[in-house]
A and B are shown apart, each in its own frame.
Chain A
Amino acid sequence: MATAPRFWRENPSRYNMVGFKCNSCGKFYFPPRIICPLCHRKSVGKTEPVKMKGTGAIFSFTEIHEGMDEHNVQKPYIVAMVELDEGVKVTGQVIDCDVCDLSIGTRVRATLRKLSEEGSAGVIHYGYKFVPVRENGERPGDE
């Protein structure tokens, strides 16, 4: 079992999708990096934390039936690679939908949810998951 700091120190990115912008080349990254992989040393001192908008489209997805302990309570569950509107791809779960509602290109937005817990009395870890949205901002099935 990991200690709390392993998760706690990533909270800004896990909770608010704080990424990283290199002001040397203008590219966005998520999660944050220590240096820009394109600009190398030139990026030192020229990077800033940037909150991703959390909106994007599904690039690929899968429904996971055999998983890991922490997620077994809710299996099967959906995992997608999402291309955020900033041009960055991230991996996360897609919730509040059925896998047949999804396809490559489905619009999603990030929301804060419970990711896992370390046993019944352990630390609960929160982070981003994605929910599908229509172009008008509503979720499918909202009407």
Chain B
Amino acid sequence: MRRVAVIGVGITEFGELWDSSFRKLGIGAGMSAVSDAKISADQIEALFVGNMSAGRFIRQEHVAALIADYSGIARDHIPATRVEAAGASGGIALRQGFMAVASGLHDIVVVGGAEKMTDVSDIESSMIQSSAADQEWETELGATFPGLHALMATRHMHDYGTTREQLADVAVKNHRHGALNPKAQFRREINRDVVLRSPMVASPLRIFDCAPSSDGAATVVLCPLDMAKEFTDSPVEIVGSGQASDSLGLHHRKDICTMGATRAATERAFKMAGLSQKDVDVAEVHDNFTISEIIAIEDLGFFPKGEGGKATEEGLTSFDGDVVVNTSGGLKARGDPIGATGVAQAVEIVSQLRGTADKRQVKDAEVGLTQNIGGTGATAVVHLFRRV
């Protein structure tokens, strides 16, 4: 297996971008990544695009070919593949790109992620998001996507004494980080009261416990590590990649406060990298709901089960903490254009490891981690990155 490096990153602004179409977003992120990598279009050998539901959000399938076309690389007939794993589409696309380079099949691979969510109404957007859960046995019986996460939150509070305030602290922290990120959808700090007084979505989760609907795209360029210095002085190596699955329905899990897929993917990624949790300086985790971040930092092994809320409350996941979680603002504040999210996480980690994260730079960051989830945890993908 060859070692793989990220040599270029690009990201659009995230938000309700009414003047931007899906293709404009995809090409925008792609262009900045390709120019960051200082490659020319004819060097690209393959394209992977993470996208959850363009068919329902913009009534357009076949979006990998669309992006290849509008970026001008379809003329070279390169393979262009769409990857779908609900919220983990972007992270799984990254893993597909990683495997294509690691295997020796391709040298220069572009991995994009994109979603255009605001061309449909809020209620339609919620219904599309809920299709990541089991439609026939969860959603059609009344469970919404926030509702399923609320079931996790209720149980986590019951089993471990996690408090309503600790859930709010996740949102407060991620808004504080997002305020430092010029590409974030929400760039205003909030306090606990704002979260606790916001409208109820699915008790105990309120609107400020939920990531927004967003438009946006992100792209990374990969190549073999031994070629990376030809393109950049600051390559970042992908040192570990783990993917795992679990039951589609939340009710079939052994424990709804633990994402078994995150645990399995984490173990695989760390084993491949030969690293352990204490080596990680900065992490982007899948905080589509505040409870998700608490469960994530436990299942990733940063904190013992049941102590994620307490760790957040004590500031252990912010700057100067044990591991800085979601410097970008996370899904909560940076925004969550579903298919783009997993790739956007990689963009943030690469910026941190290059030392170009500006006001949100984690000092001397050397190792970073991304965790991207599909549905209520039926898919998880974890990547580890290291400054070269």
* Partner-B contacts on A (CB < 8 A): 7, 10, 31, 59-69, 71, 76-77, 79-81, 89-93, 99, 104, 115-116, 125, 127-128
A-B contact count (CB 8 A): 104
Residue of A nearest to B141 (CB): A92
Q: Does B137 contact A (CB under 8 A)?
A: yes
Q: Which residues of A contact B207 (CB under 8 A)?
A: 66
15 pairs, CB–CB < 8 Å, chain A vs chain B: A61-B151, A62-B153, A62-B154, A62-B205, A64-B146, A64-B202, A65-B203, A66-B126, A67-B147, A71-B142, A81-B151, A81-B250, A91-B250, A92-B142, A116-B140
What is the minimal beta-carbon distance from B357 to any residue of chain A, in angstroms?
A: 34
What is the minimal beta-carbon distance from B79 to any residue of chain A, in angstroms?
A: 33
Contact A93 B152 (CB under 8 A): no
Per-residue interface assignment for chain B, residues 174 to 216, with 1 indicating a CB less than 8 Å from any chain A CB and 0 otherwise: 0000000000000000000000000111111101000000000
Q: Which residues of A contact B138 (CB under 8 A)?
A: 91
A76 to B142, CA, bound (A): 11
Q: Which residues of A contact B123 (CB under 8 A)?
A: 68-69
Residue of B nearest to A31 (CB): B137
Known contacts A61-B154, A65-B200: A115-B126 contact under CB 8 Å: no
Other than the given A64-B146, A99-B203, 6 more pairs (CB < 8 A) read A64-B203, A65-B201, A66-B146, A79-B147, A91-B142, A91-B151
What is the minimal beta-carbon distance from A110 to any residue of chain B, in angstroms?
A: 11
Contact B155 A77 (CB under 8 A): no
Q: Which residues of A contact B249 (CB under 8 A)?
A: 91
Contact A60 B203 (CB under 8 A): no
Known contacts A69-B127, A81-B250, A90-B251: A59-B155 contact under CB 8 Å: yes
Could you say which of B130, B146, B147 has the most chain A C-beta atoms within 10 Å of its C-beta?
A: B147
Q: Which residues of B contact A7 (CB under 8 A)?
A: 140
Contact B126 A68 (CB under 8 A): yes
Q: Which residues of B contact A62 (CB under 8 A)?
A: 147, 150-151, 153-154, 202-205
Q: Which residues of A contact B144 (CB under 8 A)?
A: 64, 66-68, 79
Known contacts A10-B136, A69-B123: A115-B251 contact under CB 8 Å: no
- Residues 116-160 of B at the A interface (beta carbon under 8 Å): 123, 126-127, 130, 136-144, 146-148, 150-155, 158
Q: Which residues of A contact B148 (CB under 8 A)?
A: 91
Q: Which residues of B contact A76 (CB under 8 A)?
A: 200
Contact B147 A64 (CB under 8 A): yes
Q: Which residues of B contact A71 (CB under 8 A)?
A: 142
Could you say which of B151, B158, B250, B251 has the most chain A C-beta atoms within 10 Å of its C-beta?
A: B251
Residue of B nearest to A74 (CB): B142
Residue of A nearest to B123 (CB): A69
Contact A66 B154 (CB under 8 A): no
A65 to B207, CA, bound (A): 10
A62 to B142, CA, bound (A): 11
Contact B201 A60 (CB under 8 A): no
A21 to B63, CA, bound (A): 42
Q: Find B202's partner among A63, A69, A128 (CB 8 Å cutoff).
A: A63
Known contacts A93-B141, A104-B158: A31-B136 contact under CB 8 Å: yes
Contact B154 A104 (CB under 8 A): yes
Contact B141 A127 (CB under 8 A): yes
Q: Which residues of A contact B203 (CB under 8 A)?
A: 62-65, 99
Q: Which residues of A contact B153 (CB under 8 A)?
A: 62
Residue of B nearest to A90 (CB): B251
